[in-house]
Amino acid sequence: MAPHRPKTDWAALIPHAGSMCLLDGVLAWDERTIHAISESQARADNPLRSAQGLHAVHLAEYGAQAMAVHGALLARASGAQTARPGRLVSLRDVQLFVEYVDHYDGHLDVHAECLQASEASAQYLFRVEHCGQLLASGRAAVIHPES
């Protein structure tokens, strides 16, 4: 497992910027998995937050961003200067175990596991937890369109 990576180490590698970059750090990653953390669920400037709060359905975006960071870190580790951009095309088997998540203090644990990856696409499992409580899980697919 690679050591902890602060946001400043990888944020420029992904297309998400400013407050839309929802992850705060990467605790661990290897060829297949990534464990990221985020406290953005409680921030008033979270762009996904509505007047009612941050709905758990948006945790799929946290999973997708973990996938993007994982792909970028893998690309950099293999010597690439940039990661291929990805486009989220599918969410499957998404399960939400709570309705809103903005009231959770402390960090969320965002886990993603690569099931398949090629030059053209990737599929991941993701799950988001708070203090060991599963908040959301699912499967996501991205394609890497030709430039």
Q: How confident is the model at residue 136 (pLDDT cuts 50, 70, 90)?
A: very high
More confident of the two residues 4 and 39: 39
CA distance 4 to 65: 17
Contact present, 139 and 126 (Cβ < 8 Å): yes
Report the pLDDT value the prediction gives residue 86, as an integer from 0 to 100.
87
One-letter-per-residue 3-state SS of 22-55: CCCEEEEECCCEEEEEECHHHCCCCCCCECCECE
Give the pLDDT mean for 15-21. Answer: 83
Mean pLDDT score of the chain: 91
Whole-model pTM: value is 0.93
Among 1-10, 19-28, 64-73, 130-139, the range scoring the smallest mean pLDDT is 1-10
Secondary structure of residue 17 in the 3-state scheme? coil
